[in-house]
Structure 1
Amino acid sequence: MKKTEGSPLKFLSIDIGGSHIKATILNEKGELKMSYEKIATPKPSTPESVVAAIKQLAKSFPGYDRISVGFPGYVKNGVIKTAPNLGTESWKDFDLSKKLEEELGAPARVVNDADMQGLGLVSGKGLEMVVTLGTGFGTALLVDGQLMPHLEISHHPISKGKDYDEYIGDKALQKEGVQKWNRRMKKVLSVIKTVVNYDTLYIGGGNSDKLKFKLDKDIKIVSNIEGIRGGARLWQSDHRHDLITATPVEEVN
């Protein structure tokens, strides 16, 4: 995409999920410049099919200068290391940031999806945690608005050998039902509060609206649309942590 000299930057912000890939265009303040659009995540979810779906989704979008991607797995320097809900074997060591730069023609950064949501959600005060309840269980930690190294908490055992994904992920919700899932969520939130001692916890993801019990005052339910605004903040220089950065910022000719 060609950038108009001297014009404000625009960001193609993408959220890759187990069921849908969602995208929009943001301005430098993280404000949506077009409606939030989505396409079904292809099955099987190989790197090739997901990149093709992103191209299909974005082909009618207006111009953009940078690309920001939230990916459901562990990402280091734009390279995918794990993709538990898409198929780790096909994704392992796949340089998604480089591939998107080649295919879409703009510099790209790829981070864990909860990390990007966190950048869009937090107030920037104290220790803040973001969890996403969807296909799996995503987490992000930020201190005074700065991302901390990503921890794959979702794969830590929580009960009888089950990790968080297996215990409260979408498959568990469908199998056990909303009532039992809520009991499990009470346990999970209690564990997180004890272990993390956050100042504020933000809960997002497609299953967040299924929480039926009263939440503590330091817990907030948030929308995916709010989180996708992190795509603009990802390009701010103070977020260029070794564990999350992709390629240097360059002008797109």
Structure 2
Amino acid sequence: MKSTTAPLKILSIDIGGSHIKATILDSKGKLQIDYQKVVTPSEADPDNVIKAIKTLVKGFPPYDRISVGFPGYVRNGVVKTAPNLGSHFWEDVDLSKKLKEALGKETQVVNDADMQGLGVVNGQGLEMVITLGTGFGTALLMNGHLLPHLEIAHHPVSKGRDYDEYIGDKALDKKGAEKWSRRVKKVFKILKTVFNYDTLYIGGGNSSKLKFKLDKNMKIVTNADGIKGGARLWDEDRKPLSKIGIATPTK
């Protein structure tokens, strides 16, 4: 007997430093509508961002669940840092709860690079996903499972500067594409040495500005590919490690 259960529809949202993007996905990650975007508010506090999201999705087809990629450290749906939006606005904000209240559907929120990673990896071995945009996003996955998020972007890389400062948007604007690209090449060498990944996926709006040849196990991916990761957050068989709580040691 065939199931009469309606296919799950997921509102997938990517909150970025310059734009907020959204689309509707089916449970396999196939776009049901073209993804649309609005400018991220200049004062990107929770109220303004949620207001922008409500404006963006007004008129969207019905959906059952919500997945959100957020540019900062997120744990169990609660934002801890938001360096490109203003951490003082966002510290300890339960964004999953706020969006559930605002839009009326169950919501999961993860780091934006983590969500993109779920959307682009092939599920084989240790895969690393980075985003080159306003800042530097990273995600690690093992055999398709999302590993606990690391804020690699804020590790010092050169003369006290972290990755965000060294290869983010501001560095690109200040140094120009050629010098910025040389910096990125240096960063890639570091990542290869430190993580020894099987595949590196490169996303973000600045990935098209790279001026050097990529290794065979490096691949440029699009933001459209990444937003599809919103469907995989609701894949119960996947059980991403980022959602597993840290056990309290027994005495």
TM-score normalised to structure 1 length: 0.93
Question: Runs of 5+ in structure 1 lacking a partner?
Answer: 247-253
Q: Aligned partners of 1:244 and 1:159: how far apart in 2?
A: 33
Task: Tell me which stretches of 4 or more aligned residues in structure 1 moved more than 6 Å.
Answer: none
What is the CA-CA distance between 1:242 and the residue it aligns to? 6.3
AA at the equivalent of 1:194: T
What is the CA-CA distance between 1:243 and the residue it aligns to? 3.6
Q: Deviations over 1:134-190 (max 9, x none)?
A: 000000000000001100000000000000000000010001100110110110000
Q: Does 1:115 align with 2:110?
A: no
> Retained in 2: the 8 A contact 1:78–1:245?
no
Q: Deviations over 1:206-249 (max 9, x none)?
A: 00000011010000000000011000001112444464479xxx
Q: Does 1:232 align with 2:231?
A: yes
Q: Aligned partners of 1:214 and 1:63: how far apart in 2?
A: 43
> Retained in 2: the 8 A contact 1:119–1:147?
yes
Q: Does 1:77 align with 2:76?
A: yes
AA at the equivalent of 2:33: M
> Retained in 1: the 8 A contact 2:146–2:241?
no
Q: Does 1:18 align with 2:17?
A: yes
Matches of residues 71-220 of structure 1 in structure 2 within 5 Å? 71-220=70-219
Q: Aligned partners of 2:240 and 2:79: how far apart in 1?
A: 16
Question: Runs of 5+ in structure 2 lacking a partner?
Answer: 246-251
> Retained in 2: the 8 A contact 1:75–1:244?
no
AA at the equivalent of 1:106: K
Q: Aligned partners of 2:168 and 2:189: how far apart in 1?
A: 17
Q: Aligned partners of 1:160 and 1:144: how far apart in 2?
A: 35
By relative contact order (CA 8 Å, sep 6+), the higher-ranking structure is 1
Query: Partner of 1:60 in structure 2?
Result: 59
Q: Aligned partners of 2:207 and 2:241: how far apart in 1?
A: 31
Q: Aligned partners of 1:215 and 1:84: how far apart in 2?
A: 29
> Retained in 2: the 8 A contact 1:78–1:244?
no
Q: Aligned partners of 1:88 and 1:155: how far apart in 2?
A: 13
* Secondary structure in structure 2 of the residue aligned to 1:26: strand
* Secondary structure in structure 1 of the residue aligned to 2:185: helix
Cα separation, partners in 2 of 1:126 and 1:187, compared to 1, 3 Å = same
Identity %: 68
* Secondary structure in structure 2 of the residue aligned to 1:177: helix
For the aligned residue pairs, the C-alpha RMSD in angstroms reads 1.3
Q: Aligned partners of 1:61 and 1:245: how far apart in 2?
A: 32
Q: Deviations over 1:50-92 (max 9, x none)?
A: 0000000001100000000000000000000000000001100
Equivalent residues, number: 242
AA at the equivalent of 1:155: H
Matches of residues 235-250 of structure 1 in structure 2 within 5 Å? 235-241=234-240, 243-244=242-243
* Secondary structure in structure 2 of the residue aligned to 1:45: coil
Q: Which moved more, 1:39-48 or 1:237-246?
A: 237-246
> Retained in 1: the 8 A contact 2:145–2:241?
no
AA at the equivalent of 2:226: G
Query: Partner of 1:251 in structure 2?
Result: none
Query: Partner of 1:250 in structure 2?
Result: none
AA at the equivalent of 1:230: G
AA at the equivalent of 1:37: Q
